[in-house]
Structure formats: C-alpha cells, structure tokens
Chains A and B, each alone.
Chain A
Amino acid sequence: MVVPLAPLVELSAITKQFPGGVIANEGVTLSLFEGEVHALVGENGAGKSTLMNVLFGVYEPDEGTISIGGRPVRHRRPADAIANGIGMVHQHFKLIPSFTVAENLLLARRDRRFRLEPRQADEEFRALAERYGFNVDPNAIVGTLPLAVQQRVEILKALYQDARIIIFDEPTTVLTPAEVDVLYEVLTGIAGERRGVILITHHLSEVFRFSQRISVLRGGHLVGSGLTAEMTRDEVAELIVGSAEKTWEPREERAATHDRSPVLQLEQVTISGTAFSTGLRDFTLEAQPGEILAVAGVEGNGQRELFEVLAGLRAPEGGRIIIGGTPYASLDRASSAGLGVRVIPEDRHAEGLILELGIAENLLLDRIGRRPFSRWGRLAVRSIHRVAQQLISRFDIRTSSSTAPAHTLSGGNQQKVVVARALSEPTLILLAHQPTRGLDIAATAAVLSNVVTAAEQGAAVIFISSSLDEVFAVGDTIAVLYRGRRAGIAARTKTTRDEVGRWMTGAQQVA
C-alpha cells in the first residue's frame, strides 16, 4: 500500500487535564494517513478515548493542535468535527434509542429539508446500507435492535455524514467473534475508500490482523508508534503495560470438594432483559462453598440479569433460587444481604460507592445501624473510625483519612473499598461482577487475590467476567453465558480457552 505524505489528521502535542488534576493526555502526537487503519492501544485509563474525544470535539484540549489535511482546526463541539469530516463510532453508541434508524440518520445531516420525507429517506438509507452489506430496517426503533445492529447504525451515521476519518472506540466489546470478523471486513473496506480509520482496542490479535499502524498510550503518554509490520506482539504488549509490572499467576488447582453440598443453586431461572442485555432463559447453576465459579461470556448475554437476580435486585420471572438449601422464588436485596450474599458490582461509581460520603461511611454502610457502630439510634463515631481504620490497613487502601470522601480516592483504591466492605462481613456467597474493570495491573491483582482468599475461607464465589485471562486465572469451574442460556460448563482443568471461546460464540451448545 502506498502511503501518501500528507496525513489526513495530525494531532500534535495534545494535553488534556480533567478538573481534579487527572491528566488524561500529555503531549500526545499522532497522525492518520489515508487508506490506513491506525490502531490506538493501551490499558483502560491510558487516555485513548479521551484523545479521540478531543479529536471529535467532545473535549477541548488544554494544549496542542489538531490539523486536518494540513490545515489547523479547532473542534469546540462534535458539530465542528463532523463538518471537518470526522465520524465516531462510540463505545456506548450515541444513538437515540426511541428514534427509528431513519430518524437517527436524518438527525445527523444538517442539509436535509425542513419537512421530513420518510419515503425518500428510506431509499437513501437502503442504498447506503446495501453498499456496506448491512441489513438494517430503516423503520426499526433503535433501542429494540441488537447491539451489533445498533453499531451498524452508528457506522452508517458516520458514513451518511460522509466522514473521511472514522474513529472506532472499542468496537468489538459487544460483538461475538463472528460479528467481529464482519466488522473488520467493513472497517477495512471503509479505510480503502480513501478514508482513514482510527481503531481503539485492547485486543492485540485484532490489531495485528487488521491495522497498518500502531500507537501505544500508557498513562496518558504516547510510549510507542510504528508500522504494524515492523512491530511484534511482545513488543507492543510490553509497551502497553510497561516493563516493571507483571501479570498475576493462575490460581493453584483446588482440592476437589465435590462431596460438599452446593450452597447456591439456580434452577431454570428466567428473567427478561433490556436493550443492552438478553436476560436469562432457563438458567441453571450451582456453586459449592470454597468454589470459584467463573461465568464467562461476551457482555450483554445476561450477565447483568444474573447479577441482579443473585443480589436480590430483581425477582426472576420463572425458576427459583436455592440458598443454603432453602428455596426462594424471589429475594429482596436486604434479605439476600442478611443471608450473607456480598456483592462487588461492575460499576463502582454508579453502584459500588457513594462518592460524596466519607470512606468510613462507605465501608460500613451496610451495617451502620448495628452495634458497635450505633448505640441507641446514635452513631458511635469513634468505633466507626476505629473499624474503618482497621479495614483501611487490612485492605491496603491508600488514603490520608477515613473521613475523606470516596471520590478523592484513585480508581483502584475505590474498588478496594468496595471489596473491603463485601469481605469484612461473614460471606456465604460472593458475587463479583467484572470486579477488575478499569483497574491497572496492580489493583487488578489485589482484587483477584482478595476474591481467591474469600473462596479459600469458604465462600462460594460467582465471578462474572468477559476476560478469558481472568476466568482461567481464578475459576475452578467455568460456565459460559450465551444469549441468556448456559452455553457450556466445565472444570477449568477439563477445558481449554478454545473450547470456552467457542461456547461464547454459541458455536457449540451443551445440553
């Protein structure tokens, strides 16, 4: 492929700092050339999305310049970026769920007429969709479409705006492997039409199969950049994590405990899903004390509902839950907590913590009304801080004070608060939903080791994760969710990553 000299886009020395002092990007320089797929890789929190959001006008950079076709530009709003030929396929799609596909596309073009003309619009979209092999009904309500189809709408939107530069932010998170292949075919096709593509991802295999150029971000800095053909996987992997840090070791094989009776059983649980998740259908599972049952699967295949049912947030529409031998048709959260079901939710900001409350209050919120934390309806402030201090040192939470609000902590330390709260009470069942999301390697290792410790102390652990690495690192048993059903289950030692990967795609159904 001949690489032209003038880049389509040039980001020079971009610095973006968020209020509160978090530096997301510092002096990052990046160029995108016509016809190229340029992969932007790095860990969660490395600043990839921020950099692309700067390009798309979501954020204004504090320093640095953006040039398009050699001309310096300023993107104050997405509209400016769109006018300069930039399109973005967001990780969380920026579509209007209650609108039809056609309405979403019409909204994206400013040159349309005053009066909406659905029929003419239909034809335009059909033509565009057919060109890229997308089978999308223009009159479907976007919110009712599967995520893979919504993503196509998002792509069509960028193409409909005639974007020359299209940014894909983690486009494969919600896709099955088969859908991933289709996506990359499209993506390569788009790049070939005298456009350029920037691909944010953390899947190195995809990077090496589909990109022509790689840039690596770490801690907001550009730590390496080059042609894909001239780099090796090991090289890039090391750039991503840095040389000092090491990944965690897989858990030792656990002594068989099959003689013990299960502490948790789900029998044919059925619950409806949402636009972003399929729900559960006749889902059956059991876990023993001391066992880590890892539930793998592509996000959106019922993980959310599994978490909600087990935590007692939603009542299943069918089936039952048996905890410690007692069957429950439904459980509310308070009684589930009373039984010893502890939770580590997937989103620590939305569900795990109350960011404005102090660390001590967050650590002890579930037991604040009991002795020794309260007496006669009054808080025992001294006991609260004594116990909080103990938890802070036991779980190695880095903070200056137990009274500081939780939002002053770093992400890793925030997650430690969530973990400390879950594991400092007697735990019958630990429910961990993507507990390492967005954490760096060290914090990930700390969380995983706490999860393993909980199991060693006798808890049954339901570990829901979309990362095969983690699932194989900590799981004793691995179950796979696919479209709300159990697509497969096996002891870790009796299965392989390939087999689990196939289950995740629904390629092989286990009765």
Chain B
Amino acid sequence: MTDPPATGGGLSTRLLVDLLKPRRPGFGVFVVTGAFATSLLAGALAVSLIGVSPVRALTVLVEGSVGSKAALADALVFATPRLFVALGAIVAIRCGVFNLGGEGQLQVGAIGAILAGTAFGSLVTPIHLGLALAASMVFGGVWAVIAIALKLWRGANEIIVTLMMNFVAIYLVQYLVQGPLQPADSIYNTSERVADSAELPVLVSGTRLHLGVPLAFAAAVAVWFLLYRTPLGVRLRATGLNPRAARLQGLSVGRLVLASMAISGSIAGLAGASEVLGVQFRLIQGFSSNFGFEGLAIAFLARLEPFSAVLVAVYFGMVQKGTTQLESVLGVPSALAFIMEALPIIFLAGAQGWLLLRGRVVRA
C-alpha cells in the first residue's frame, strides 16, 4: 500500500493535534477552570436573561443531576453514548484523522445492534448481548473505514466525507424504521423491540443505570492502554503528530490511519448500541440528539486524553440531565444544555490558539 499524504483536498488538518499538546505547564489547569467557569457563567447569564435567578437555577440543576440515586444514574446514562463517541474521536484524531463522523458511525452501529438484537429469538444473555455489541462495533467500524478508504483511494478529504456520511446514515435509519425494519402490524416508525437477552441489563434497581455505563468507563481505560501502553498506540500517536517523520521510520502511515479509523468507528458504534440496547430498546428515528457533535466537543475539551474525557462526559451528562429538570421545574428551555456545552469549546479553542500565537517555539 502506498502511503497517502498527510492531508487531502488541500486542507491542513494536522494542526489540531499540535494545538492539543500545549507545551506550557499550568495551561491544562487554566483551560479546565476557564472552560468550566465559562460554562457556568453562560448558563447563569442565559437564565437571568429570562428572569430566573441563577442561584435557584444552579440548585435545581445540581439537584436534578446528582440529587438522587435515580438522577445521578440518568446523568451517567446520558454521559454514556457521548463518552463512546468522544473516545472514538480521540483514537482517530490522535492518529491525525479528522473523524467528524461519530454521528453516522453511531447511527450505523445502532442498526447493527438492532439487527443482532432482534434476529435471534432468544439466546443466553451474555452471548446475545455480546453478539449485538459486536455487531454495532463492526457496523460502526466499517462505516468509518469506508470514509477513510475514500480518502486513501481518492484523496477525498475526510472532513467532508465523514460529515456527508453522517446524514446518509441518519436518513438510512429513517428509511429502515419506515420500511424494512418496521414490524408489519405497526403504525409507528420504529423497529421491533430487541430480545430481552440482548438488552443491556439494569445494574441498580429503581434506576436506569445499565451495563453500558461501566462499559463506557472500561472503554476509556482500554483507549488509554491502547495509546500509551501498546506499540500500536505509539505508532498512532507518532503518525498523528508528524506523519512525515513516522513514515521515514518505516511506519505504514496508510495502514495506521486505516486501523485508527476502524477502532474509532467501532467505539462510536458502541454509542449506538448503548442507546438502543440500554435506553430505547428499539431503533427510532432521531434517537441520537446530536451525540456525535457533543462527543467531539467532549474529545476537544478533554484535549484528547481518555480519562479527562470521562470527566467531561459526566459533566455533559449532568448538564443534559439537569437542564431537563430545569425545564420541568422552572420552565427554562432545555436547549440551555447546548449553550453550556458550546461555550467552553469556544473558550478552549480561543485559549489554545492564543497559546499557539504567543508560545510558539521558533528557531532563531
């Protein structure tokens, strides 16, 4: 296989990786506090704009997300698909591939999970569930590999490819639930319910906390291990940071990029599985409310570190859960969540750019 150039379509996409590795100590702390503060400030500002006391809102938000066992469980369940997507994005971006296709990969992963989850009448739980999860990983992985193969083969930049494939996947799900996967006697646009044996079991009774939550945490550990404790991880990171140098050391950049995308897509596929096997139990049009881009946002905010991604994802889960509570108690629109998620990204992007501008090491 011939090695591809680092960029296609004339776009430079390597910089992100540089940016996420600031070389000044203390910057991490600054970014985390700054981003967190921005998020809360934005929330406070938004609620005061519509005449709600920020203190009251914060109380409701916190109580609504961690105030009870059930609420905390919901926050963690909300965090789960977002965390999977984020971890997938981390693997790809660390290898220098801009996988903006988490949304599509999770949609297709959900299709895989549903197919396996409904196909067999009833199997022993671990086997059926295992099959369904594996199917979601294969589907998500293949979807991602198609995107990167198009880049390697035709030089089509992966940013556009993955963005377009997101929408193709979303409408593919819509098509399936309106036709082929719709049960004959049903008037609803959903698939059949998955078999009990393929469900992600609830772990704490009285809550919605399902097995997907610890799986996502385990995935974070696995991604960390992959990146920092395996030769493949060293090669992926080397390729992402400097593909020219990596290639000169005999690394097959093309194969590594392909591998990172396959891994990335299969982790994102699990996001779909955790939603349809743990929360919805059916394939539904629009089951993902923008998980793909929130996942990317988490990856960026975590500065591509898997353990930081866990923390950020839990925060996002809390915000999502807390804002639904805010809507029902105080009538604050739950879209507040997106504002509280977006502003820290904007803060981070600005802060890192500024650092690049100020702290660039230039050879004399």
Any chain A CB within 8 A of the CB of B250?
yes
Most B Cβ at <10 Å: residue of A333, A338, A378: A333
| A378 proximity list for chain B (CB < 8 A) | 229-230
Residues 361 to 385 of chain A near chain B (Cβ within 8 Å): 361, 365-366, 368-369, 373-374, 377-379, 381
Assess the B361–A19 pair: CB atoms within 8 A.
yes
Residues of A within 8 A of B241 (CB): 354-357
Contact status A338-B250, CB under 8 Å: yes
- Neighbouring A residues of B231 by C-beta, 8 Å: 368-369, 373-374, 377, 379
B130, chain A: closest CB distance, angstroms: 22
Whether the pair B238, A365 counts as a contact (CB closer than 8 A) is yes
> Does A427 touch B at the CB level, under 8 Å?
no
Residue in contact with A350 in the complex, picked from B234, B235, B244, B361, CB distance below 8 Å: B244
With a cutoff of 8 Å between Cβ atoms, the chain B residues found around residue A22 in the complex are: 361, 364
In the bound assembly, the distance between CA atoms of A354 and B241 in angstroms comes to 7
Sample (22) of A-B pairs whose CB atoms are under 8 Å apart: A19-B358, A20-B23, A20-B359, A22-B361, A22-B364, A45-B363, A47-B364, A313-B247, A338-B250, A351-B248, A352-B248, A356-B241, A357-B241, A361-B238, A365-B246, A368-B234, A369-B235, A374-B231, A377-B230, A378-B230, A411-B363, A421-B249
B3 partner residues in chain A, CB cutoff 8 A: 332-333
Closest to B228 in A: A379
Minimal beta-carbon separation of A313 from chain B (angstroms): 7
Q: Is the CB of B250 within 8 A of A337?
A: yes
- Which residues of chain A from 308 to 337 have a CB within 8 Å of any chain B CB? 311, 313, 332-334, 336-337
A345 neighbours in B (Cβ, 8 Å): 248
Other-chain contact of B238, A20, A357, A379 (Cβ < 8 Å): A357
Q: Which chain A residues lie closer than 8 Å to B362 at the CB level?
A: 18
Are A368 and B235 in touch, CB under 8 angstroms?
yes
Q: For the complex, what is the distance from the CA of A124 to the CA of B232, rounded to whole Å?
A: 59
Query: Which B residue's beta carbon lies closest to that of A365?
Result: B249
B21 close to chain A: CB less than 8 A: yes
Q: Is the CB of A50 within 8 A of B364?
A: yes
Question: Is A438 located at the chain interface by the 8 A CB criterion?
Answer: yes
Main secondary structure of the interface of A (DSSP, over half): mixed
* Interface membership of chain B positions 350-364, coded 1 if the CB is closer than 8 angstroms to chain A and 0 otherwise: 000000001111111
Contact of A356 (CB < 8 Å), options: B21, B232, B249: B21
Contact A313 B361 (CB under 8 A): no
- Report yes or no: A334 in contact with B252, Cβ–Cβ below 8 A: yes
Please, which residues of chain A bring their CB within 8 A of the CB of B363?
A: 45, 349, 411, 438
- A361 in contact with B234 (CB, 8 Å): yes
A343 sits at the interface (CB 8 A): yes
Question: How far is it, in angstroms, between the C-alpha of A355 and the C-alpha of B21 when the chains are bound?
Answer: 11
Binding site for A on B (CB under 8 A): 2-3, 18, 21, 23, 229-235, 237-238, 241-242, 244-252, 358-364
Task: Identify the closest chain B residue to A358 (Cβ).
Answer: B234
CB within 8 Å for A18 and B249 given contacts A356-B241, A361-B234, A369-B231:
no
Contact yes or no, A313 B248, CB < 8 A: yes
- Residues of A whose CB lies within 8 Å of any CB of B are 18-20, 22, 24, 45, 47, 49-50, 220, 311, 313, 332-334, 336-338, 343, 345, 349-357, 361, 365-366, 368-369, 373-374, 377-379, 381, 405, 407, 411, 421, 438
B90 CB to closest chain A CB (Å) equals 16
C-alpha spacing A351/B245, complex, angstroms: 4
For the complex formed, measure the closest distance between the CB of A410 and the CB atoms of chain B, giving whole angstroms.
11
Which chain A residues lie closer than 8 Å to B364 at the CB level? 18, 22, 24, 45, 47, 49-50, 220
Contact B245 A333 (CB under 8 A): no
| Pair A407/B229 contact, Cβ less than 8 Å | no
Which chain B residue lies CB-closest to A337? B250
Are B249's CB and A357's CB within 8 A?
no
Taking CB atoms, residues of chain A closer than 8 Å to B252 are: 334
CA distance A18 to B364 in the complex (A): 8
A349–B245 CA distance with the chains assembled, in angstroms: 9
Q: Tell me which residues across on chain B come within 8 A of A313, comparing CB atoms.
A: 247-248
Say whether B360 contacts A366, CB under 8 Å.
no
**Contact indicator A366/B249 (Cβ below 8 Å):** yes
Cα–Cα distance between A377 and B361 once the two chains are bound (Å): 35
Distance between Cα atoms of A24 and B23 in the complex (Å): 20
Contacts of A350 in B (CB 8 A): 242, 244-245
Q: Which residues of A contact B244 (CB under 8 A)?
A: 350-351
Nearest 4 A/B pairs, CB to CB = A337-B250, A24-B364, A369-B231, A366-B249
Which residues in B have their C-beta under 8 angstroms from that of A334?
250-252
A353 surroundings in chain B (CB, below 8 A) = 242, 245
Closest to A311 in B: B248
Cα–Cα distance between A24 and B363 once the two chains are bound (Å): 9
Of all chain B residues, the one with the shortest Cβ separation from A373 is B231
> Beyond A351-B245, A356-B21, A366-B249: 18 further Cβ-contacts under 8 Å?
A18-B362, A20-B23, A24-B364, A45-B363, A313-B247, A313-B248, A333-B3, A333-B247, A334-B251, A357-B234, A357-B241, A361-B238, A365-B246, A366-B251, A369-B232, A377-B231, A378-B229, A407-B23
- CB-based nearest B residue for A16: B364
Known: A361-B234, A378-B230. A407 touches B245 (CB 8 A): no
Q: How far is the CA of A124 from the CA of B278 in the complex (A)?
A: 74
Nearest CB on A from B205, distance (A): 38
Once A19-B361, A333-B3 are accepted as A-B contacts, the answer to whether A379 and B248 lie under 8 Å apart by CB is no
Residues of chain A with a CB closer than 8 A to B232's CB:
369, 377
- Give CA–CA (A220, B364) in the complex, Å: 9
**Smallest CB gap from B362: residue in A:** A18
Residues of B within 8 A of A349 (CB): 363
A353 to B241, CA, bound (A): 10
- Give the CA-CA distance A313 to B362 in the complex, in Å: 28
Q: How far is the CB of A361 from chain B (nearest CB, A)?
A: 6
List residues of chain B with CB within 8 A of the CB of A20. 23, 359, 361
Of B2, B23, B251, B360, the contact of A365 (CB 8 Å cutoff): B251
Q: How far is the CA of A343 from the CA of B2 in the complex (A)?
A: 19
Contacts of B358 in A (CB 8 A): 19
Closest B-chain residue to A370, C-beta based? B231
Residue of A nearest to B244 (CB): A351
Chain A residue nearest to B361 (CB atoms) is A20
- CB-defined contacts of B249 to chain A, threshold 8 Å: 337, 365-366, 421
In Å, the complex CA distance between A22 and B359 comes to 12
User: Known contacts A20-B361, A379-B231: does B250 contact A354 (CB below 8 Å)?
Assistant: no
Give bound CA distance, A94 to B238, whole Å: 31
